[in-house]
Structure formats: C-alpha cells, structure tokens
C-alpha cells in the first residue's frame, strides 16, 4: 500500500526516498505485480526529476528486469527518459538492449530511441549503434512475421 503513495511523496520530498531507492528496488522480487509497478513508477519519478546519481545506480537493476515481459515497456520508458539527459549511463548496456530487441521485437521503436540518444555521445558509439541497429532490423523474428502476413 505504501508503494502506491511514494511516487506522490517523491514529487514533494524526493531526498528521503532517493536515499532508500536502491534498497526498495532490492525488494522487487518479493513484491506482487501491482506493487512492482508502483515501485517502477517511483523510479520513473526519480528519472523525470533527473536525479542522475540515483538513476545511475538503478540502471543495472532495470536492465536485468527487462526480460520480464510484464514490465519491460515501463522499464524502457524509464531508460528512454534517462537516455535523454544521461545517455552515457546506458552505453555499456547496448548489447543487452540488443538481446531484448531480438526477444521482444515490439520494443524495437523504444530501443531505437535509446540507441539514438546514446549515439550522440561520440562518433565511435554512433558507428557501433548503427551496426547494432542493422542487426535489430535484420531480426529473423521480424522477417517471419512479415512472411506470415502475406
């Protein structure tokens, strides 16, 4: 029940909650699905407030939980928010994001936004991202869907 109100509290007094956010995230596996959603909403509030130090600690947690189809859309929204102001925080996770795109082709649009933001960091990253994006576009699952539509 407390997790439902924490996002609103975080809007008003973020510092006490931000200090304990990583501890709250550690509880994620023990929570039921609605509580997990509220915890992710709390993290999204922190991401929107551009709390870089808090969010950077949470990026590995978010990447690990992308494999859960229940929350991967919400998690990608948080990561997209982060990529808008701290793209370097996601740079080392591009291979994992590529795997998620292969596993869940419906998320490729959100992943492309993240790749694009990270690609603005430097030219080397842009070239690597271009190669990764080509691999996402050549995804066999995507081709199979196109063939089945004909």
pLDDT at 146: 46
Write the pLDDT tens digit of every residue in 13-37: 667 676 777 787 888 888 888 888 8
Asked whether 70 and 42 are in contact (CB, 8 A), the reply is no
The burial of 43, by beta-carbon neighbours within 10 Å (0-12 exposed, 13-18 middle, 19 or more buried), is given as buried
DSSP string, 6-39: HHHHHHH-HHHHHHTHHHHHHTGGGS-HHHHHHH
Asked whether 22 and 57 are in contact (CB, 8 A), the reply is yes
The region of weakest confidence among 7-11, 71-75, 79-83 is: 7-11
User: Alpha-carbon distance 106 to 142, whole Å?
Assistant: 9
């Amino acid at each position: 029940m407390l997790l439902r109100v924490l996002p609103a509290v975080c809007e008003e007094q973020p510092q006490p909650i931000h200090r304990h956010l990583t501890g709250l995230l550690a509880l994620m596996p023990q929570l039921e699905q609605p509580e997990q959603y509220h915890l992710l909403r709390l993290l999204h509030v922190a991401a929107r407030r551009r709390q870089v130090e808090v969010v950077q600690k949470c990026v590995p947690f978010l990447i690990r939980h992308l494999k859960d189809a229940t929350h991967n859309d919400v998690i990608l929204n948080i990561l997209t928010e982060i990529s808008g102001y701290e793209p370097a925080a996601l740079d080392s996770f591009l291979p994992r994001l590529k795997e998620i795109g292969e596993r869940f082709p419906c998320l490729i649009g959100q992943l492309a936004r993240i790749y694009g933001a990270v690609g603005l960091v430097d030219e080397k990253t842009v070239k690597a991202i271009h190669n990764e994006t080509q691999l996402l576009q050549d995804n066999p699952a995507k081709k199979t869907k196109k063939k089945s539509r004909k």
